[in-house]
Amino acid sequence: MDPNSNFLKNANNNLVKQGNHLVWARCFHSSHSPPLVFSSYAKTAMAAYEVFGVKIEKNPSKSKLIELSVSTWPKWEGGPLKIPRSFKEEETMYLVEGKVKVTVEEKIGSFEIGGGDLVVFPKGMTITWEITEPVKKHSSWKKE
């Protein structure tokens, strides 16, 4: 990987540098592709970061969730399934619980999001959404 990249991985122990943060991450990749994908198993607190154009914030503060009015957003729950999803508008979601493996179309690899994550998927993105642990989430859509 490019040493000037935002994400650097140590192949021996999955130590990942993101900005000024060092985190432990579980990576998903095939033997023929570089390990470019990062999951939500960070062992240190992280500010917002981005993977394949998806913005992720780990454990946002209670005050931020109140400011965004997350508790008023529509709720959705679902069990294990794997489906394609296309975002016709920007979608912000707060995962209360569960785990989802996300594969972004035309990208090598995938990443996980889970309980406590505030995630923003950009308009026009197409993904495969694979729920690996039952999910409860709130969502909001940005109208243009």
d(CA 61, CA 118): 10
- Write down the pLDDT at residue 143: 79
Q: Which of 88, 93, 84, 97 is nearest to 120 (CA)?
A: 93
Single-letter amino acid, residue 121: F
d(CA 82, CA 103): 11
pLDDT single digits (tens) 83-106? 999 999 999 999 999 999 999 998
pLDDT single digits (tens) 45-70? 557 899 999 999 999 999 999 999 99
pLDDT single digits (tens) 15-25? 444 444 444 44
**For the domain bounded by 7-141, which CATH number is listed?**
2.60.120.10
- 132 pLDDT above the threshold of 70: yes
Task: Give me the residue spans of the domains in the chain.
Answer: 7-141
- 27 pLDDT above the threshold of 60: no
Tell me the whole-structure pTM to 2 decimals.
0.69
